[in-house]
Amino acid sequence: MRTRRIATDGLTQSVLEAGGGPLVLLIHGFPELGISWQAQVEALAEAGWHAVAPDMRGYGGTDKPKGVAQHTLLHLVGDMVDLVRALGHETCVVVGHDWGAPVAWHCALMRPDIFQAVAGLSVPFQPRRPNGPPIPAMKAITKRAGLGDLYIVRFQDPDAHRPMDADPGTALRRMFWAYDGATDAADRHTGFLASGVDMLDSISDRAVLPPWMTEEHFGQYVSAFAAGGFEGPLDWYRALDLNWSLTAWLQDRRITVPSLFIVGQNDPVRHYAGAHEKALGDWLTDLRGQHEIEGAGHWIQQERPEVVNRLLLDFLAGL
């Protein structure tokens, strides 16, 4: 594996890559980096694929444009389109985890000529709602249910990144721990926040590194976020309503390329995105697998690398 920076249109991207052959792009989520895919880059390269895991816009060694309007899905998909070209390929398979999953789904939705197969981890495809933008809907639903605020709503605050910037090590440790499958069920986060309690304060001071996270690996995350901050990553969330306004042309459009979905049995994201898992077959017309990994939480490619690698390689072999 090697890391290098690649100049694409308007953005210089840092990528972790290995291997040769057909291209597989591996898109990370929040609060992660391309290094979250190390086990997959190695396994895919050994199987004859050119595996590439970029630090996404606003993260790590990749450029960090300022402003919410610079972090829409159109930008994120466009970054991947141009990365394929810059890597010397015309087509690829795209795989995404967490926030990277919506990016991957929309790569396949918008440009199936380039992204000829797609796999999403942890976050299922969520079609555009026809009755208004998502943030007001989230507020209304959680209020009716008496659940407090979904953290995604709290992240709309333009200062929501500041507590994370103040202590990146504590912020990352708490978030990794609270969404991990090995953490006791009572301590795993639900995604909902009581009034007056922010994301980090809602997680126990007892948080430790998950069993799969070494101190050295964790240090890479801390260094990257200490240098780059959390404002850009949270701008992805702040662009949700803007994404809705920019994607009316995608209303009711389905993903037609071969697809795969993998989720951890104990993934807290299922508390607020799980309903979309049941409807995947309605929106992915060539869904070739939908797998639940027993005992795993949210960080499945790192928690269960051997299982995820096998599922991805089986999917790729069938294309």
CATH code: domain of residue 272: 3.40.50.1820
Q: What is the SS3 assignment for 137?
A: helix
How many domains is the chain partitioned into structurally? 2
Mean pLDDT of the chain: 97
Residue 243 domain-assigned? no
- Please say if the pLDDT value at position 10 is more than 90: no
Range of the domain at 107: 2-130+249-317
Task: Looking at the structure, tell me whether residues 111 and 184 fall in a common domain.
Answer: no
CA distance 52 to 152: 28
Peptide bond into 163 cis (omega under 30): no
Task: Looking at the structure, tell me whether residues 219 and 89 fall in a common domain.
Answer: no
CA distance 80 to 91: 11
Per DSSP, 62 falls in state S
Catalytic residue set: 98, 298
Q: What are the tens digits of pLDDT across the range 221-255?
A: 999 999 999 999 999 999 999 999 999 999 999 99
- The band of 145, judged by pLDDT with boundaries at 50, 70 and 90, is confident
Residue 165 has φ and ψ, to the nearest 5°, of -60, -30
Task: Give the residue from 213, 156, 205 showing the smallest Cα distance to 180.
Answer: 213
Task: Looking at the structure, tell me whether residues 56 and 126 fall in a common domain.
Answer: yes
Q: Which residues pair with 119 in a beta bridge?
A: 95, 260
**236-247: b or e for each residue (b if 16 or more CB lie within 10 Å)?**
bbbbbbbbbeeb
Q: Which residues pair with 16 in a beta bridge?
A: 3, 53
pLDDT of residue 33: 98
**14-24: b or e for each residue (b if 16 or more CB lie within 10 Å)?**
bbbbbbeebbb
Q: What are the tens digits of pLDDT across the range 77-111?
A: 999 999 999 999 999 999 999 999 999 999 999 99
pLDDT of residue 312: 98
Global model pTM greater than 0.75: yes
Task: Looking at the structure, tell me whether residues 228 and 263 fall in a common domain.
Answer: no
Task: Looking at the structure, tell me whether residues 124 and 141 fall in a common domain.
Answer: no
pLDDT of residue 296: 98
CA distance 112 to 121: 19
Output the CA torsion 17→19→24→26 (10° steps).
Answer: -30
Task: Looking at the structure, tell me whether residues 37 and 183 fall in a common domain.
Answer: no
- Please say if the pLDDT value at position 166 is more than 90: yes
Task: Looking at the structure, tell me whether residues 124 and 254 fall in a common domain.
Answer: yes
Task: Looking at the structure, tell me whether residues 92 and 155 fall in a common domain.
Answer: no
- Please say if the pLDDT value at position 42 is more than 90: yes
Tokens 């994301």 correspond to 199
Task: Looking at the structure, tell me whether residues 117 and 260 fall in a common domain.
Answer: yes
Residue 164 domain-assigned? yes
Task: Looking at the structure, tell me whether residues 146 and 278 fall in a common domain.
Answer: no
